[in-house]
Amino acid sequence: MSLVEMSGIRKSFYGVEVLHGVNFQLKAGTVHALMGENGAGKSTLMKALAGVHRFDGGVIKIQGKPADIYSPSDARSLGVAMIQQELSPVEELSVAENIFLGREPVKMGFVDYKQLYRQTEKLLDSLNLNMNPRTKMKALPMAEQQMVEIAKAISQNAHIVIMDEPTSSITNREVESLFRMIADMKARGTGIIYISHKMDEIFRVADEITVLRDGGNVGTWKKGEIDTEQLICSMVGRELKSQFPKVEVTIGEPILEVRNLTLAHQYEDISFTLHRGEILGFVGLIGSGRTELMNSLFGITQPEKGKILLEGEEVTFKSPRDAVTHGIAYVTEDRKGKGLVLPMSICHNTTLPSLRKFTKSGLLQRRAEGNAVTRQVSSLNIKTASTLLPVKSLSGGNQQKVVLAKWMMTEPKIIIFDEPTRGIDVGSKAEIYKIMCDYAAQGNAVILVSSEMPEAMGMSDRILVLSNHRFSGELRRSEFSEEAIVQMQFKHMISRRNDDDRSDVK
């Protein structure tokens, strides 16, 4: 018998139907991967199961019984737990308080903290998690917060656990412990629905794979019945020739020179030169200072020492505004936090940094604006019913393309991409890579910050490696190798290993 049986699920947003009768089944003690491009409807389908969205049509059966799911608490009482892509713990509370939030053990009307910590310890031990229940959530790295979230789900007796891109912001080692945990959960008979775009993970962890496309089923396969090529093909409905459409371009004269740039505790003594036509990769572990450095190149923070030369002239950026007027664009790592104004429309988001172009004697030229946005939206292949819809109605990948569209409108000379394809499907990824290459080939320059090794190596002409806030090496395209990069990433970390790598401390 199936643990979960969803049939004919329909859902519309803003009058646009995004799920056209989707079927999905999950068996106990298995991992079922759910795959598809952005906007294929994976997250929407799972949010219907978790009670976040009320679906418009169809039936959900849990352990054979029709289930009425109207709210997240309905779903929870039926044993469904969802680990969201973006976690939202109560940061000021401890691990234990987060796990038992709303169900704290009580003695005479007061929270029984002794009991709370004892129970949490027992729970964490049973999951082989080595962490202190008294630690505040905000002190934990993302991966451990995720583990806490999973522990919480298990403590609530969830036997259906949905994981939406659980590995999008954690390191390889942390992925291993996540997989161990998944294996434990399977052994207990828990069913896991696993949403991810990472092929290697899917093939390691999934027992079954269901692919959605444009809000409908493409098919369901058992492990071993399908390979990567076929899987990609089924998701996009076309063959992707190469994931990285990198073309050789002649590298032009220097456009950006950075000399001995320093900001204490963020990055130290960084120098490099960026040339026209070049895609320059920046690689480093999370916390190595990559994003901090980019923030200063864009005027969000100001360096203490060193200088920045743009086309041979020294510049200082007091704010992002200065950087934008000098022709620099920044696709930030944090799409919702710094990239988009979620309540505003796609159109208004797209023109936000370039609005000056659509102003004539102080007044906005709304027709010209609309036309330009429509052109940009179609050239980047953003899937939407109308550019007047709020940008939050789009799927993650399409939102990211809106961020891209918005910067393309400013016609920049340099674009900084910080993790541009995090949590994005293969189809959109390939499209973003293509845009990046075309843009560089036109004599512009790209800085690409990436945690994904294949991406950095596939796209860059040169890779600079940062380690522990410092520069640790440079590789030309012919010298690229994963081993060399990994070694450079750890170059300045040997002496402080114990500080940075908590999991080694027992």
Partner 1 sequence: MSQLDPGVQIKRRTMSRRQFVSTFGSLIGLILLIIIMYALKPNFLSTSNIRNILRISSINGLLAVGMTFVVLTGGIDLSVGAVMGCAGMYSAYFAQTSMNKHWMVAVLVGVGMGLIIGTFNGVCVSYFRVPPFVGTLGSMSIAKGLTFLLTDAKPIPSLSTEFKFLGGGNIGGWLPTAIVIMLVVLAICFTLLYKTRYGRYIFAVGGNLNAAHVSGINTKRIICSVYIISSVLAALAGIITSARVTSGVTSTGDGYETNAIAMVVIGGTSLAGGRGRLWGTIIGILLLQCLTNGLDMLGVNTYYQMIIKGFVVIGAVMLDGLNAED
The rounded distance, in Å, linking the Cα atoms of 216 and 10 is 10
Long-range contacts of 70-78 (CB under 8 A, 24+ apart): 75/49, 75/50, 75/51, 76/51, 76/156, 76/158, 78/160
- Using CB under 8 A as the binding rule, the residues of this chain from 273 to 312 that contact partner 1 are 298, 300
Can residue 321 be called a binding residue for partner 1 (CB under 8 A)?
yes
Q: Which of 129, 131, 352, 453 binds partner 1 (CB under 8 A)?
A: 352
Smallest gap from Cβ 53 to partner 1, in A, equals 8
Can residue 416 be called a binding residue for partner 1 (CB under 8 A)?
no
Smallest gap from Cβ 383 to partner 1, in A, equals 4
Can residue 356 be called a binding residue for partner 1 (CB under 8 A)?
yes
Q: Are strands 267-275 and 254-263 parallel, antiparallel or unpaired?
A: antiparallel
SS3 92: coil
Can residue 355 be called a binding residue for partner 1 (CB under 8 A)?
yes
- Using CB under 8 A as the binding rule, the residues of this chain from 381 to 410 that contact partner 1 are 381-386, 406
Kindly write down the DSSP assignment for every residue of 106-136, as one continuous string: EETTEE-HHHHHHHHHHHHHHTT----TTSB
Q: How far is CA 432 from CA 258, 439, 481, in A?
A: 26, 10, 23
Q: Are 425 and 197 in contact (CB under 8 A)?
A: yes
Total residues binding partner 1 (CB under 8 A): 50
Can residue 315 be called a binding residue for partner 1 (CB under 8 A)?
no
The rounded distance, in Å, linking the Cα atoms of 274 and 262 is 18
Smallest gap from Cβ 204 to partner 1, in A, equals 30
Q: Are 307 and 393 in contact (CB under 8 A)?
A: no
Smallest gap from Cβ 294 to partner 1, in A, equals 11
Smallest gap from Cβ 334 to partner 1, in A, equals 8
Can residue 15 be called a binding residue for partner 1 (CB under 8 A)?
yes
Q: Are strands 414-418 and 445-449 parallel, antiparallel or unpaired?
A: parallel
Smallest gap from Cβ 359 to partner 1, in A, equals 6
Can residue 16 be called a binding residue for partner 1 (CB under 8 A)?
yes
User: For partner 1, which stretch binds (CB under 8 A), given 22-30, 132-140, 355-363, 482-490?
Assistant: 355-363
Give kind and range of the element (H or E) at residue 60: strand 57-62
Q: Which is nearer to partner 1, 312 or 337 (CB)?
A: 337
Q: Which is nearer to partner 1, 394 or 466 (CB)?
A: 394
Strand-pairing partners, residue 482, are none
Tokens representing residue 256 in the block: 């950006």
Burial code of 418-454, b = ≥16 C-beta within 10 A, e = fewer? bbbbbbbbbbbbbbbbebbbebbeeebbbbbbbbebe
Long-range contacts of 309-315 (CB under 8 A, 24+ apart): 309/256, 309/257, 309/258, 309/259, 310/255, 310/256, 311/255, 311/413, 312/254, 312/257
Q: How far is CA 337 from CA 372, 388, 457, 494, in A?
A: 25, 21, 28, 33
- Using CB under 8 A as the binding rule, the residues of this chain from 168 to 227 that contact partner 1 are 213-215
Smallest gap from Cβ 130 to partner 1, in A, equals 35
Can residue 337 be called a binding residue for partner 1 (CB under 8 A)?
yes
Smallest gap from Cβ 34 to partner 1, in A, equals 18
The rounded distance, in Å, linking the Cα atoms of 329 and 332 is 9
Q: Which is nearer to partner 1, 181 or 380 (CB)?
A: 380
Q: Which is nearer to partner 1, 126 or 319 (CB)?
A: 319
Can residue 353 be called a binding residue for partner 1 (CB under 8 A)?
yes
Smallest gap from Cβ 321 to partner 1, in A, equals 4
Can residue 12 be called a binding residue for partner 1 (CB under 8 A)?
yes
Can residue 343 be called a binding residue for partner 1 (CB under 8 A)?
yes
Can residue 71 be called a binding residue for partner 1 (CB under 8 A)?
no
Give kind and range of the element (H or E) at residue 46: helix 42-49
Q: Are 420 and 400 in contact (CB under 8 A)?
A: yes
Smallest gap from Cβ 177 to partner 1, in A, equals 32
Q: Which of 225, 342, 476, 497 binds partner 1 (CB under 8 A)?
A: 342
User: For partner 1, which stretch binds (CB under 8 A), given 9-17, 202-210, 269-277, 428-436?
Assistant: 9-17
- Ramachandran region, residue 311 (left: φ > 0; alpha: ψ -120 to 50; beta: rest): left
Can residue 332 be called a binding residue for partner 1 (CB under 8 A)?
yes
Can residue 13 be called a binding residue for partner 1 (CB under 8 A)?
yes
SS3 88: coil
Helices 396-408 and 426-441, interaxial angle, to 10°?
A: 10
CA triple 262-263-267, angle to 5 deg? 75
Q: Which is nearer to partner 1, 149 or 369 (CB)?
A: 369
Q: Which of 108, 187, 363, 494 binds partner 1 (CB under 8 A)?
A: 363
Q: Are 14 and 389 in contact (CB under 8 A)?
A: yes
Smallest gap from Cβ 211 to partner 1, in A, equals 14
Smallest gap from Cβ 15 to partner 1, in A, equals 4
Tokens representing residue 156 in the block: 């609530």
- State the CB neighbour count (10 A cutoff) for residue 131: 17
Q: Which is nearer to partner 1, 247 or 341 (CB)?
A: 341
Can residue 230 be called a binding residue for partner 1 (CB under 8 A)?
no
Smallest gap from Cβ 358 to partner 1, in A, equals 8
Q: Which of 2, 132, 374, 503 binds partner 1 (CB under 8 A)?
A: 374
Q: Give the binding site for partner 1 (CB under 8 A).
A: 12-18, 20, 39, 213-215, 298, 300, 319-321, 323-325, 330, 332, 337-344, 348, 351-353, 355-356, 359, 362-364, 374, 377-378, 381-386, 406
